[in-house]
Structure 1
Amino acid sequence: MAGQRVLLLAGFLLSEFLLSEAAKILTVSSLGGSHYLLLDRVSQILQDHGHNVTMLLYEGDYLVPTFKKKENEYQVISWLLPEDHEKELKKHFDFYMKEALHGREAFGTYVKLMEQLGIQCSDLLRRSDIMESLKNENFDLVFVEASDFCSFLVAERLGKRFVSFLPTQFGAVDLGLPNPVSYVPVFHSLLTDHMDFWDRVKNFLLFFDFFLRQWQIHSTYDNTIKEHFPEGSRPVLSHLLKKAELWFVNSDFALEFARPLLPNTIYVGSLMTRPVEPVPQEFENFISKFGDSGFVLVALGSMVSTYQSQEVLMEMNSAFARLSQGVIWKCQASKWPKDVKLAANVKIVDWLPQNDLLAHPRIRLFVSHGGMNSVMEAIQHGVPMVGIPVLGDQPENMVRVEAKKLGVSVQLKQIKAETFALKMKEVMEDKRYKSAAVAASIIRRSHPLTSAQRLVGWIDHILQTGGAAHLKPYALQQPWHEQYLLDVILFLLMVTLGTLWLCRKLLGIMGRWLCGARKLKKA
């Protein structure tokens, strides 16, 4: 018995030693906006946990010019594009955003933008000062982001193990997960997991379209790979995605449809949610004016706020004027039309404490662009939503919000004051939306571990075990025709057809022999 206690104590002390040993971790952030916010949060959590974290940060302002980065406790290595490349990238991004906000989010425009990101990646990999500095650091692990393919190539150039963060819900990229198309909707299908016959036909056809589009997107990095990796050892992006030790997914069972997962796939939705603090007095004073009627929070994300048209602002302002609630609206004052009078019940601000306002007892509704971070914060605090999705994963997120009865969706190009006001009143007055939001909040909060605890726990696990090979099925190494048993099906089909052909031949021979025997007998 005493010996067992000694062994248990030794095991405990060893685990404490392993957990206390700091690892050197590199996080890579090239896209800015909410993508940077997520990687910043990840970096800070890992730094607080005792690891030595360095972020490789692109500091260009092509994505959201007004976005301000804060001081960090972890180390930051920053870099910039040459001025001409930065201008070209910004031009393509601005065009893509304007097209998307007018309901013209063409796939070809997105591919053009991705080509520019491939050029941006080449500029980074060409920076021998940065790449050599990173190699000399000898990191234990690299933390990459699924929307930023360049981060995968950085990890590959450094020859280091990496884990990946998926900022959207499943389907945006192929992680190698099982995808039964009978109930797992393909990305951009706008379907739920409850599909009738024609939905399943649509989902099946879009399954092939998805892989064709992925191939086109990945091909935008072909020149970058050819330039920076020697022939014979050039990585394939689709293979790199499946090479990740772990996949952290910015979603939760409270929102996502139930589906098959692999052991190395971990939900960390609401990672951005922080402890609630009292809202600043200026907001509290405004909220108190409306008493029990409460208030509506409006935050359409950095990109939509930057690029939205004046016509949309006017229609939204007119819709808010029809509500009895106060409206706190994150909207740049510089973008406000000078000839439009702001509704009396509306307060516009350049910045607001979104998490704290969502936790306020008098909030009645959250009007959002449907970005994953915002949706997860609303679920965390049990607030029903009206979503105005524009691009990327936002329409898919709102499909899930509507399927779970957490709110409704409105198309940006179809916003009219009267119908928009009716939608908001519907969600606030129909108690079923609030009940569903509270139920989703209970699901989200009832996890035995927080998102941050799951993140650091799994990172520590693979650092101690030397990787996650034990969590990844062999299927990730199989070619697609083996994984889907197409070679087996083809073999069995050939055997079946060959057997039928042989039986037919034998029956023919026997038939002719019998006919010949009868003729001889008659003769």
Structure 2
Amino acid sequence: MGIVFWMFSLLAVPVLQSAKILTVCLIGGSHYLLLDEISHNLHQRGHEVRMLLQLGNPVITGFSYAGRADSYQMSTWFLGEKYIKDYNGWFLEQQTQFLLGRDNLTNFLNFMGHISYQCDKLLGDKEMITFLQTERYDITILDAFNPCSFILAHKLGVHYIAFYPGTLNGPLSIALPSPVSYIPVFSSQLSDHMNIWGRAKNLFYSFLAPVGQELVWSTFRDVAERHLESGSPPGGLEELHQGAELWAFNTDFSLEFPQPLMPYTVLVGGLLNKPAKPPEQDLELWISDLGEVGFIVVTLGSMVSSISVEPLLVELVAGFSRIPQHINVRMLWEVINLQCLACRYDSQRWPSHLDRPHNFRLVDWLPLNDLLGHKKARLFITHGGQNSLLQAVYHAVPVLGIPLFGDQFDNMVRAETKGLGLTINPTHITREVLSSTIQTLIQDIRFKSTALSLSRIHKSHPVPPALRLIQWVEHILHSGGGTHLRPASLAHPWYQRYLLDLVLLLSLVLLGPVVLSWTFCRSRNSRDKHKKIH
């Protein structure tokens, strides 16, 4: 696959003279893995790439951010042991709340409050900012999930490309055509086929979305005011979003609901997908010993390994134990973050009274891509992260989603609507529901058939996602920016964009004479009555 990729790359548009590119990763976790892949691919293309990486983020606890040998450069920034310890403690408590089904806007705004505090400290690091300014980058590729990345790009005075690690309905203010009749609003947990009540809910969420965006930006406004010479942008987060030369999304229409796009958007979902390699010897031996028996891959993210929510763990284990022998599967359970390539399972948190069923193996880490690509993989039980689902699509493995927080609920709605799998809310998990759902997904051939169809769609795109992104980045560099991709409507106020000013004008023109006539007639009738009285 790698040879084919670079052969294709050489046949594409001529490589530009090496550009200086800064990639910005201030969160970590799967965000880091995506930006690491982007940075490496751009370096392989011949560009001079440096990543600014913030260390100490608990999203991917224990990961070694050593970078890649003979690849891009890296500058790391760290806030200090004391703050990171306190922050990790707070984040651990939030994970417990997620598993108990308590994911809400208040928790998210608290998270953004921490991110804005970190942003203030980073932008106040004169040594780091001066170093980045003197490097004079040609373009910045930033993590568009974090508003701080946009503020940083403005402070550096560098044009930027926004890479969003999720689906199209995440960033509200990039002004994509989004009719609420069939395009679900973020967090609505709706599909693109809505009944009248679904459309009513979607409309309601569309009114709430700008309020949510303003609340998010309010946590960063003071930071922007302190660190930008021009102060906080008058248009807030919307102005920062619309200043991007290009928006690249970690999604693909094999999984995404079809919708209109704009010239400044490109879909590059599947950057982490690779052909499977043989697993390491111990896992390969375990799989070989299964004979014709298949296996189920279970990974629910760092949440389950970092905290102890014993009732949930008991139901999961009991549910796995109830799978009948005639189903012919075994469980390979990794209770750590899907993307955490160096984490370890905290065995001390495993309840001493809870036996491990005979039909599953508990591991501290598993090579997800290689196992999903194994011919004996029958099912993938996942928390519904975007990268997880894209890898399931790539390898044509049906999924059982147990979403925990954020966009994972919307992601699983897409997967379920497409026919890739089924979903169980973590608060609704019982051993009976879990066991019966697993049996349905394995025994009903329609799920595997749909997974194969989605995989063909994903793989048959004429340009691989990594090369697609590289070509667009080079197009922006070669053309001097993305102004030619942005329609004039982005500069218009929202009421002009939706023709509300025209509606008001037409209302005045059409209704004005009616109102005047009615007022005149009423006044005349009043005078006539007055004359008759006298």
Correspondence for 2:66 = 70
Alignment pair present for 1:185 and 2:184: yes
The residue identity in structure 1 corresponding to 2:334 is K
In the aligned structure 2, how far is the partner of 1:396 from the partner of 1:213? 17
What amino acid maps onto 1:326 in structure 2? Answer: R
User: Would you say 1:330 and 2:344 are equivalent positions?
Assistant: no
Read off the aligned partner of 2:503 and give its amino acid letter. Answer: I
Deviations 1:295-350 (A, max 9, x none): 10111123444335233222222222233311111122523223222111211111
Residue identity in the other structure for 1:113: F
Aligned with 2:34 (options 35, 38, 46): 38
Moved more, 279-288 or 137-146: 279-288
CA displacement at 1:15 relative to structure 2: 6.2
Deviation, 1:135, is 0.4
- In the alignment, the residues of structure 2 paired with residue 503 and residue 141 of structure 1 have an alpha-carbon distance, to the nearest angstrom, of 62
Q: Is the 8 A contact 2:233 2:239 kept in 1?
A: no
Opposite residue 311 of structure 1, the aligned amino acid is P
Alignment of 1:102-251 (within 5 A): 102-174=100-172, 175-230=174-229, 234=233, 236-251=236-251
1:423-477 superposed Cα distances (whole Å, 9 cap, x missing partner): 0110010011111111100110110000011010101111100011111111111
CA shift, 1:508, in A, is 6.1
The one-letter code sitting in structure 2 at the alignment partner of 1:65 is T
Alignment of 1:49-60 (within 5 A): 49-60=45-56
Deviation at 1:229, TM superposition (A): 1.8
Name the CA distance, whole Å, in 1 between partners of 2:85 and 2:279. 39
Residues 359 and 381 in structure 1, CA contact (< 8 A), matched pair in contact too: yes
Residues 352-367 of structure 1 mapped to structure 2, 5 A cutoff: 352-367=366-381
Residues 264 and 305 (structure 1), Cα distance of their counterparts in 2 relative to 1, 3 Å cut:
farther
Residue 285 (1) aligns with residue 274 (2):
no
The one-letter amino acid paired with 1:177 is L
- In 1, are the aligned partners of 2:401 and 2:423 still within 8 Å (CA)? yes
TM-score of the two chains, using structure 2 as the length reference: 0.90
Code of the aligned partner of 2:297: L
Contact 1:218 1:238 in 2 (8 A): no
1:501 is matched with which residue: 511, 515, 518?
A: 515
Check conservation: 1:96, 1:110, Cα contact below 8 A. no
How many equivalent pairs are there?
505
Superposition deviation, residue 239 in structure 1: 0.9
Q: Does the residue aligned with 1:448 lie in a helix, a strand or coil?
A: coil
Change (3 A) 1:344 1:222: same
CA contact (8 A) 1:183 1:195 kept: yes
Q: Which moved more, 1:421-430 or 1:467-476?
A: 467-476
User: Per the alignment, do residues 416 and 510 of structure 1 end up closer, same or farther by CA in structure 2, a change over 3 Å counting?
Assistant: closer
TM-score of the two chains, using structure 1 as the length reference = 0.92
Separation (CA, whole Å) in 1 of partners of 2:529 and 2:405: 74
Q: Is the 8 A contact 2:317 2:356 kept in 1?
A: yes
Gaps (5+ residues) in structure 2?
1-9, 336-344
2: distance between equivalents of 1:388 and 1:47?
A: 37
Deviations 1:455-513 (A, max 9, x none): 10101111100011111111111111111111111111122221211333565689899
Q: CA deviation at 1:161?
A: 0.6
- Secondary structure of the corresponding residue to residue 260 of structure 1: coil
**Correspondent of 2:499 among 472, 475, 485:** 485
Taking a change above 3 Å as real, the CA distance of residues 307 and 49 of structure 1, as seen in their structure-2 partners, is farther
Relative to structure 1, the CA distance from residue 329 to residue 152 in structure 2 (aligned partners, 3 Å threshold; closer, same or farther) is same
Contact 1:310 1:337 in 2 (8 A): yes
* Residue deviations 1:88-128 (CA, integer Å, cap 9, x gap): 43343223222111111121122122111101000000000
The whole-number CA distance in structure 2 between the counterparts of 1:272 and 1:342 is 32
Q: For residues 46 and 304 of structure 1, what CA distance do their matches in structure 2 show?
A: 35
In structure 1, C-alpha distance between the alignment counterparts of 2:200 and 2:118, rounded to whole Å = 39
Larger Rg: 1
In structure 2, C-alpha distance between the alignment counterparts of 1:146 and 1:93, rounded to whole Å? 21
**Cα 1:203–1:325, aligned 2, differ >3 Å: closer, same or farther?**
same
The worse-fitting range, judged by mean Cα deviation, of 54-63 and 24-33 is 54-63
Structure 2 residue aligned with 1:272: 272
Q: Is 2:167–2:256's contact at 8 Å kept on the other side of the alignment? A: yes
* Structure 2 contact 139–158 (Cα < 8 Å) conserved: yes
Output one character per residue of 1:134-153: Cα deviation in whole Å (capped at 9) or x when no partner: 00100000011121111111
Pair 270,498 (structure 1): closer, same or farther in 2 beyond 3 Å = same
Whether the 8 Å contact between 1:64 and 1:306 is mirrored in structure 2 is no
1:178 counterpart SS class? coil
Between 177-186 and 56-65, the greater mean CA deviation after superposition: 56-65
1:377 Cα deviation from its structure 2 partner: 0.2
Q: Secondary structure at the match of 2:331?
A: strand
Whole-angstrom CA distance in 1 between matches of 2:33 and 2:475: 25
Q: State the match for 1:406 in structure 2.
A: 420
- The amino acid of 1:470's aligned partner reads H
Report SS of the residue matched to 1:455: helix
Q: 1:61/1:21 Cα in 2 relative to 1: closer, same or farther (>3 Å)?
A: same
- Range that drifts further, 447-456 or 277-286: 277-286
Match in the other structure for 1:5: none
